[in-house]
C-alpha cells in the first residue's frame, strides 16, 4: 500500500473543530495503517485563542487569518467549521479558487449558497464533502452516495434535529413545552437560543442538503412548507400514543408526480414505523429507493465527537477517491404544493363545553366531505383551555381540511389555535 499524504487546514476551532483536531491527533497512526493515508494538520484558524490554548496548538500551527490556510500551497483540503453563511462562504470561495478540496459541516451554507459553491467547484474539478452537515455523526451522505444512489431514490424522511426530538421525548412524559426546552438546555441538547431548532429551520437546511444529495435538485427554503414544534402540547403526544402514533418533527423530501415535495413539520408516525422509536437526542434518516426499499440510519445527530468523526471520515473519503460522484441535475422539477398533500390528518381543536358544539364541527367536516376516522373527547385530563377534541380524518387534501378549519375558527365556541398534523402512515 502506497502511503498518501494529505495536508489539511482547519478553519474554526469551536466544538466540532476541536473534536476534529483531537480525533486526528489520537487516530493519525490508526488512519495511516487502515487507509494508507497520512493526514497532517498544517494549520488551524480561529478568531479566538481559547481553543488554541486548550488544545495546546503551537504558534506556528495557528493563525487568525483564514487566508493563511486557503492560500497555503501545501494545504490540500480546507475544512470549514465556523458556521454561519457570510464568512463561511468567503472561506469556501477562497479555498476553491485556490484549488483546494473543501469539507464543511455547515448546512446553512450549503442550503443558502450550495449552488454558488458547486459553480466554483465545477471550474476546478475539486470536490466537496459534507457528511457532518446532516445527522451529525450518522454516515448518511456517504451511504447515499456510495450505496443507495445506484437505485432511484423515491423519498426520504428524517428526524434530523436532536433538540426537537429531545423536547418531544420529554413532552411524551407529560412535561410541557417550555419546561422541556429548559430541561433540554440543562442537559446540553439545546442551545440557549434554540429558535432555529424549534421552528424547523435547521431541519429545513438539512432537507435542502438531502434533496441535493438524493435527487440532485436545488431547493430554496422559501419554497418549502416549514413548521416547527411550538404548537405541540404534551396532551397531543399523549393522545397520539393512545392512538398508536408518536409525534416527530420530520424533514421530508420525495418525488411525486414529477414534482419535488420538500417540507418540514411535526407529523404523527405510526408506532411500527422505525422512525417512531427514535427518541431523545437521537437522529435517524429513512431513505426509500427502488431496489433497496426502506433503509434507515440511526445515531447521534450532534455532539463534538460524533460530528467530528463524520468530518474525519470526509477527509479520508476525499483522499481516497479521484472524483466525487456527479448527481444528475438535468431535470428541473417544480415544487409540489403542500396544499395538494393528500394525507390522513390529526386535528386538535378546543371547544367550549356545550352540547351541540361537537356536532357543528363534525357537520362542517361533512360539508367538505372530510371523513372522520376517530374522535377523542376527554375533558379533565388536559392542561389545554376549553375541551380539546381530537379528530383523526381519513385521507383528504391539506387544502380542503384547512378550509374546514378556517370555517370552524369563525365560530364563537372554537378556541384560537387548532392544530393540524399530517399522519405519515407508511414507511
Residues that bind its own copies (CB under 8 A): 1-2, 19, 23, 27, 30-31, 33-36, 131, 137-139, 142-143, 146-151, 272, 274, 276-279, 282, 290-300, 303, 305-306, 308-310, 312-313, 316-317, 320-323, 325-328
| Closest-CA residue to 345 (of 403, 420, 271) | 420
Helix (H) or strand (E) run with residue 129 in it: strand 128-129
- Return the number of other C-beta atoms located less than 10 Å from residue 185's C-beta: 16
Asked if residues 148 and 286 have their Cβ atoms less than 8 Å apart, the reply is no
User: Which of 115, 116, 106 lies closest to 85, judged by CA?
Assistant: 106
Cell of 228: 416547527
- Of the residues 126, 206, 246, 248, only one is catalytic, namely 206
Q: Work out how close the CB of 106 gets to its own copies at its nearest, in angstroms, rounded to a whole number.
A: 19
Question: For cell 492560500, what's the residue?
Answer: 71
Q: Considering the complex, what minimum distance in angstroms separates the CB of residue 124 from its own copies?
A: 13
Q: Can you tell me the distance from the alpha carbon of 294 to that of 288, in angstroms, rounded to the nearest whole number?
A: 4
Tell me 148's DSSP state: I
295/336 with CB nearer its own copies: 295
Q: Using alpha carbons, list the distances in angstroms from residue 10 to 56, 127, 129, 353.
A: 15, 16, 14, 61
Rounded Cα–Cα distance for residues 57 and 50 (Å) = 10
Of 88 and 247, nearer to its own copies (C-beta) is 247
Sequence-ordered list of residues with C-beta below 8 angstroms from that of 320, at least 6 positions apart, any chain: 4, 35, 37
DSSP E strand boundaries for 257-371:
259-270, 282-289, 293-300, 334-335, 342-351
Is the CB of 329 or the CB of 379 nearer to its own copies? 329
Q: Could you tell me which residues are beta bridge partners of residue 285?
A: 158, 297
Interior/surface letters 208-234, b for 16+ CB within 10 angstroms, e for the rest: bbbbbbbbbbbbebeebbbbbbeebbb
Give the residue with the Cβ less far from its own copies, 74 or 152. Answer: 152
Closest distance of CB 135 from its own copies, Å: 10
Quick check: 126 and 99 in contact, CB under 8 A? yes
Report in angstroms how near the CB of residue 365 gets to its own copies at its nearest.
Answer: 33
Separation CA 102–CA 131 (nearest Å): 12
Q: Write down the H helix ranges in 264-303.
A: none
Q: Nearest approach, Cβ of 289 to its own copies (angstroms)?
A: 8
User: What is the distance between the alpha carbons of residues 391 and 408, in angstroms, rounded to a whole number?
Assistant: 13
Q: How far is the CB of 33 from its own copies (least distance, A)?
A: 6
Which residue(s) pair with 4 in the sheet?
A: 37
With respect to its own copies, which residue has the nearer C-beta, 30 or 119? 30
222 is catalytic: no
Q: How far is the CB of 292 from its own copies (least distance, A)?
A: 5
State the nearest-atom distance from the C-beta of 331 to its own copies, in Å. 13
8 A C-beta contact, residue 126 and residue 120? no
CB closer to its own copies, 238 vs 350: 238
Q: Which residues are catalytic?
A: 206
Amino acid at each position: 500500500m502506497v502511503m498518501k499524504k494529505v495536508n489539511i487546514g482547519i478553519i474554526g476551532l469551536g466544538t466540532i473543530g476541536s473534536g476534529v483536531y483531537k480525533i486526528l491527533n489520537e487516530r493519525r497512526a490508526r488512519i495511516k495503517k487502515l487507509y494508507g493515508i497520512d493526514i497532517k494538520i498544517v494549520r488551524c484558524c480561529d478568531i479566538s485563542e481559547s481553543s488554541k490554548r486548550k488544545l495546546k496548538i503551537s504558534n506556528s500551527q495557528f493563525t487568525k487569518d483564514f487566508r493563511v490556510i486557503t492560500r497555503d500551497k501545501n494545504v490540500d483540503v480546507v475544512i470549514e467549521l465556523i458556521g454561519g453563511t457570510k464568512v463561511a462562504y468567503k472561506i469556501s470561495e477562497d479555498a476553491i479558487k485556490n484549488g483546494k478540496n473543501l469539507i464543511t459541516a455547515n448546512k446553512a451554507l450549503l442550503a443558502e449558497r450550495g449552488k454558488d459553491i458547486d459553480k466554483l467547484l465545477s471550474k476546478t474539478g475539486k470536490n466537496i464533502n459534507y457528511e457532518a452537515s446532516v445527522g451529525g455523526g450518522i454516515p448518511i451522505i456517504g451511504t447515499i452516495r456510495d450505496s443507495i444512489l445506484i437505485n432511484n431514490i423515491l423519498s426520504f424522511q428524517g428526524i434530523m434535529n436532536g433538540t426537537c426530538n429531545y423536547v418531544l421525548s420529554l413532552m411524551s412524559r407529560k412535561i410541557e413545552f417550555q419546561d422541556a426546552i429548559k430541561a433540554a438546555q440543562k442537559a446540553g441538547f439545546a442551545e440557549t437560543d434554540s429558535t432555529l431548532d424549534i421552528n424547523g429551520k435547521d431541519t429545513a437546511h438539512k432537507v435542502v442538503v438531502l434533496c441535493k444529495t438524493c435527487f440532485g435538485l436545488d431547493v430554496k427554503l422559501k419554497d418549502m412548507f416549514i413548521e416547527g414544534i411550538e404548537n405541540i402540547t404534551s396532551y397531543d403526544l399523549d393522545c397520539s400514543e393512545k392512538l398508536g402514533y408518536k409525534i416527530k418533527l420530520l424533514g421530508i423530501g420525495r418525488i411525486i408526480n414529477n414534482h419535488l415535495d420538500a417540507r418540514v413539520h411535526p407529523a404523527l408516525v405510526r408506532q411500527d414505523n422505525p422512525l417512531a422509536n427514535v427518541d431523545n437526542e437521537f437522529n435517524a434518516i429513512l431513505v426509500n429507493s427502488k431496489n433497496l426499499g426502506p433503509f434507515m440510519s440511526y445515531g447521534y445527530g450532534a455532539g463534538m465527537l460524533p460530528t467530528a468523526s463524520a468530518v474525519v471520515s470526509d477527509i479520508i473519503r476525499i483522499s481516497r477517491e479521484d472524483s466525487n460522484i456527479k448527481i444528475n441535475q438535468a431535470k428541473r422539477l417544480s415544487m409540489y404544493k403542500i396544499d395538494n398533500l393528500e394525507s390522513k390528518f390529526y386535528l386538535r381543536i378546543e371547544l367550549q363545553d356545550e352540547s351541540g358544539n361537537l356536532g357543528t364541527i363534525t357537520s362542517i367536516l361533512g360539508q367538505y366531505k372530510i371523513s372522520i376516522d376517530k374522535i377523542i373527547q376527554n375533558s379533565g385530563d388536559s392542561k389545554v383551555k376549553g375541551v380539546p377534541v381530537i379528530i383523526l380524518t381519513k385521507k383528504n387534501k391539506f387544502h380542503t381540511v384547512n378550509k374546514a378549519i378556517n370555517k370552524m375558527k369563525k365560530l364563537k365556541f372554537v378556541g384560537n389555535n387548532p392544530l393540524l398534523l399530517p399522519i405519515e402512515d407508511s414507511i
